[in-house]
Amino acid sequence: MNTPRKNTPVFEQLPGPVPLPGLLEVVAGAFFADFHAELEATPYADIRPTHGCVFRFLREEGMRPTRLAALAGMTKQSIGEITDDLLARGYVERIADPEDRRAKLIRLTEQGKRAQRTGHELFTRVEKRWSERYGAERIAGLRALLEEIAATDAPGLVPELAREPSAVR
């Protein structure tokens, strides 16, 4: 009888290749681990992974919590908890929406803008290091493919990649 060894990883027990979503999750986790190791050495070490959804989508003009929740794929209540935490840490502020004074916008403070810029710089640094490790052409090809997939299959979730349908291969 063929019984699995106690310390055998689950992937070794499964037939076939590791499912693509599993690989994407592992790679994203490794990338974020590198990013958070770098972040710890900055004045923004108090920023947690859960805060990323706010820094990922907020721009200069701010955003309503409902729109932020939709982009992040979260509930308005979850976004509210995250923004409350960031508000207490001084990274965001709530202001009246100039188009509807009854509505509120979440907007980065100056500290939040500096943290967001630092985050973008750190992502660039980690991507550069990965390019050196795995090859610049391979990482550029991976990026191009992921951008194409995101723009085609989830265009509303990646506003930076919005393009005309005819521009997508």
pLDDT of 168 higher than 50: no
Q: Which residues pair with 63 in a beta bridge?
A: 106
Q: At what angle do helices 20-39 and 110-134 cross, to 10 degrees?
A: 120
Q: Which residues pair with 94 in a beta bridge?
A: 106
Give the tens place of pLDDT for each residue, 95-109: 999 998 889 999 999
Q: Are 139 and 31 in contact (CB under 8 A)?
A: no
Say what the pLDDT of residue 159 is.
77
Averaged pLDDT of the chain: 89
pLDDT of 154 higher than 90: no
Give the tens place of pLDDT for each residue, 58-86: 998 999 999 999 999 999 999 999 999 99
Distance, CA of 144 to CA of 49 (rounded, Å): 25
Q: Is 132 helix (H, G, I), strand (E, B) or coil?
A: helix
The amino acid sitting at 57 is F
Distance, CA of 144 to CA of 63 (rounded, Å): 28
